Amino acid sequence: MEHRPLGATGVQVSAVGFGCQEVGGGYGDIDQREFARAVGHALEVGINLFDTAEAYGSGASEEALGRALRGRRDEALISTKFGTGYHDRANFRDGRAERVHSSIDASLQRLGTDHVDIYTVHWPDRETPFDETLGALDVLVQGGKVRFVALSNFRVDELAACRKLGRFDVVQCVHSLFDRRMESEVLPWCVANDVGFLGYGALAYGLLSGALPADHTFPADDWRSKTDKWGVMSPLFEHLFGPGRVSENVAVVEDLRNVAALSGHSVAQLALRWATATPGVSASLVGCRSVAEVDDDAAALDWSLDPSDRDAIDQIFIRHGVNPCPDQWIERGT
């Protein structure tokens, strides 16, 4: 497994991170025992970054990860998040100091640990001054509950403003073959400021797994079918799963599969190799549910893309008229 510096933290992170959103629910049934075996196997093959959030299944993801890491906590870098999913807030977001402190304590209990390595503001709460949020996070760092602070889904102007207000070490934003918006401003800013970057959605929420047929219909309990529930985050998903988009995007995936096959790899491995090779990316996060998925993800790093591969990939998107850089931010109204 390839390891890289996580910005200026001094920590080496695996180029592929183990995403734990799926085990929190919303993707159908998950075998909890197989998930635990997958976590252990990931450690064995050198994956050391595990990403979760209190919003994933109202803490269910954190609890599952905590159980799976029991006895092996010191081998892992745990990244968890707070800041969204609160029904007592008008915008469902909360970056107030009291929420920072209550959320970390609840997350530590669910994870069964006395600290997290990366604590992330999941989505910006623009109703709360950023300096209040960052100040509370610094208190957690000073108290040993948190090692590093991260901001997720912040615009580049907000990152620059926060940089003047307090400490943060990592940025987490969407990044995949189907969504390259961060390459225009956010990733260059992270490189220039020596801030680590974690790209989520590396397999485009399953599109790049290569498992979806063109006529696929997501079941009613799958969040990808609930277009009316996406709310302000619709711009993050509508180009992937909006009306008519699945069949268009699956056609792209089928052509990408042919490029991957030339080197004996799967389309998912092609997507991960592309994402992890992007300048400035510390790690690409991918959801894992089984030992087999861990092995498939790890094998994505045993090769390199040459310029002709990259050109072939870009030409596929052009040929199908699919724009991987939508001309809007990832949430509505900003």
- Token digits of residue 82: 């707070």
Name the helix (H) or strand (E) containing 316.
helix 307-320
Q: Residue 28: its pLDDT value, please? A: 60
Nearest-10 Cα torsion for 76, 81, 86, 92: -150
* Residues facing 20 on adjacent strands: none
Q: Residue 27: its pLDDT value, please? A: 61
**Letter string b/e over residues 83-105, b meaning 16 or more CB atoms within 10 A of that residue's CB:** bbbbeebeebbbbbeebbbebbe
Q: Residue 6: its pLDDT value, please? A: 98
pLDDT-derived band at 208, boundaries 50, 70, 90: very high
| Dihedral sign (CA 183, 116, 206, 25) | negative
Q: Residue 90: its pLDDT value, please? A: 78
pLDDT above 70: residue 277: yes
Half-sphere exposure of 149 (CA within 13 A, CB side): 19
Helices (H), 8-129: 32-45, 60-68, 97-111
Question: What counts of helices (H) and strands (E) characterise the chain?
Answer: 11, 10
3-209+268-303, superfamily in CATH? NADP-dependent oxidoreductase domain (3.20.20.100)
State percent of the chain over pLDDT 90: 84
pLDDT above 90: residue 274: yes
State percent of the chain over pLDDT 70: 99
- Residues with a catalytic annotation lie at 56
Q: Is residue 196 exposed (0-12), middle (13-18) or buried (19+ Cβ within 10 Å)? A: buried
Q: Give the pTM.
A: 0.95
Mean pLDDT of 140-152: 98
* Residues facing 64 on adjacent strands: none
- pLDDT tens-digit map of 255-270: 999 999 999 999 999 9
- Domain map of the chain by residue range? 3-209+268-303
pLDDT-derived band at 218, boundaries 50, 70, 90: confident
- pLDDT tens-digit map of 228-258: 888 898 999 999 999 889 999 999 999 999 9
- pLDDT tens-digit map of 280-311: 999 999 999 999 999 999 999 999 999 999 99
Q: Do the beta carbons of residue 273 and residue 305 sit within 8 Å?
A: yes
| Strand 146-152 versus strand 116-121 pairing type | parallel
- pLDDT tens-digit map of 23-67: 877 666 678 899 999 999 999 999 999 999 999 999 999 999 999
Query: CA dist 42 to 17, 56, 69, 88, 240, Å?
Result: 9, 20, 11, 37, 28
Mean pLDDT of 93-113: 98
